[in-house]
Amino acid sequence: MRILQVSAELFPLLKTGGLADVAGALPIALMAAGQDARVLLPGFPAILAGVRDQAPVAEFTAPWGQERFGMRAGRIAIDGAAPILAYVIDAPALYDRPGNPYEDTTREPYGDNHRRFALLGWAAAQLAQGLDPAWQPEVVHAHDWHAGLAPAYLHFAQRAGAPRVGSVFTVHNLAYQGLSAPWNFADLGLPAAAFHMNGLEYHGQVSFMKGGLCFADRLTTVSPTYAREIQTPEQGFGLDGLLRLRGDVLTGILNAVDDQVWNPATDAALVQGYHTPEGRHMAGKARCKAVLQHQLGLAERPEAPLFILVSRLTEQKGLHLVLGGLDTLLAEGGQLALLGSGEAWLEEAFRERAAAAPRSVSVTVGYNETLAHQFFGGGDVTLVPSLFEPCGLTQMYGLKYGSLPLVRRVGGLADTVVDCTLEDMASGDATGFVFDRFDAANYGRALRRAFALYQRAPDWRRVRGNAMRRPADWATAAEQYIAVYRQALESAGT
């Protein structure tokens, strides 16, 4: 099949979260499975700089009027894998800006985000209708709200007689819906019928997320548990009714880990590689921990369990639980290392704790890919106590690197981490620490379980081995996506 992946970011060129990891790994897995997969990306400077051998494809008119933009094609070189063929929208007036892809330097969303990302979906639809005479997708796979209008454009174009193309929309995080003022609908180039409760209208606003949910032939999300959760009022963010209505075309496909990027045996970011199953192959992890402690200014104590946080600093991630439990963590002899950025009050609160105990708490505000790898390489426990978590890749990296995840039983965390109960330790299934209720008491008990297991070195090594051996390959996920693409093609009548 000819498959066009549409995303706002892609690792290693541009990354603000797990979406980029998925967008970078899935096309490679699809190509390895014999599919003709390409990607479409907005022309952010980092993306334009990373796409090689660019050549113009065509120009096309924006959905809001006479403004014209260019489409370029090139290759994204990936170490150890075939290059990804990429289309890039050349629109510097929209994409070449300070800040991150979605917000300015004051962390305010750009006022014309509706145009910036409508153009992404519109360009996907133009490719589906033959903009590149040398290649035309059979299926368009749109990722998250940024690409949510692609299925809507395809739907209405096909109603007007355009070629039938299958469409798939993946929800990476339902909490971010791409909402915009109703008067911005006029810029989108969609018929009036699209602004309806069974379309883009959401409590009087325009919702890009609803564009994907209403008009795609097939829907997916990033874990089986999250697929069930978003059909409930508690996790549906006001869209649970629509998702229940479309539940027959919704599939939860668990994200995976790119072994070329995340592999402790070959990771160039680590001072020494390591691998399981045998203990003598794990000396590298102890060295990684010692080097990380030194690098962060923490006391170089091998006996102190090192808890790591690599996260966006938002309430969703349960970070107030971590703050509330930090006195207990330190009193038990643990250390905390944090890498991330987000809400100002959380950044300041963690900075204050680091200043008060610099040999036990380290806080690095921002994101650094190399340092993230070193955190997982040196950490003993990865904290992911989220209120909700569609899939989560952080806990998967923790599993892979033997930094046992401590998570809440929700979304993809529930699908990937098995609590250290006696029976699951006996069967070899235990891989971490899991709690249910989103409160300090339940988090605290999970924290104590982590300390208790750490004191029992043979059991700790056994569970760590279980975690590192847990399969998380993209080949399995790719086969599931291919099945969904075939269903989308059947729905599109091809």
Summarize pLDDT for 392-417 with one digit per residue, the tens. Answer: 999 999 999 999 999 999 999 999 99
d(CA 329, CA 334): 5
Domain limits, CATH 3.40.50.2000, in the chain: 2-256+474-491, 279-469
> Please, what is the average pLDDT of the chain?
95
CB 323 within 8 A of CB 353: yes
Secondary structure class of 146 (helix, strand, coil)? helix
How many CA atoms lie less than 13 Å away from 103 in the CB half-sphere?
A: 6
Q: State mean pLDDT over 261-274.
A: 95
Q: Percent of the chain scored above 70 by pLDDT?
A: 99
pLDDT given at position 281: 80
What topology does CATH give the domain 279-469?
Rossmann fold (3.40.50)
> Quick one: 272 exposed, middle or buried, by C-beta within 10 A (0-12, 13-18, 19+)?
middle
pLDDT given at position 493: 58
Question: Strands, DSSP E only, in 378-421?
Answer: 381-384, 404-408
Which contiguous run of DSSP H or E holds residue 460?
helix 457-469
pLDDT given at position 218: 98
What do you get for the CA distance between the two ends of the chain, in Å? 12
- Give the single-character DSSP code of 163: P
pLDDT tens for each residue of 97-144:
988 899 998 889 999 999 999 999 999 999 999 999 999 999 999 999
Please report which confidence band the pLDDT of residue 209 belongs to, taking 50, 70 and 90 as the band edges: very high
Q: Give phi and psi for 63, each to the nearest 5.
A: -65, -20
pLDDT given at position 154: 97
- Indicate if the pLDDT at residue 278 is higher than 60: no
Q: State mean pLDDT over 246-267.
A: 95
Q: Does domain 2-256+474-491 have CATH number 3.40.50.2000?
A: yes
- Give the single-character DSSP code of 68: E
- Indicate if the pLDDT at residue 492 is higher than 90: no
d(CA 243, CA 76): 35
pLDDT tens for each residue of 441-459:
999 999 999 999 999 999 9
pLDDT given at position 201: 97
- Indicate if the pLDDT at residue 494 is higher than 80: no
**To 5 degrees, how large is the angle CA 312–CA 316–CA 320?**
85
pLDDT tens for each residue of 48-106:
999 999 999 999 999 998 899 999 999 999 877 789 999 999 999 999 998 889 999 88
CA-based nearest residue to 393, from 21, 78, 6 = 21
Determine if the pTM surpasses 0.85.
yes
- Indicate if the pLDDT at residue 279 is higher than 60: no
Please report which confidence band the pLDDT of residue 162 belongs to, taking 50, 70 and 90 as the band edges: confident
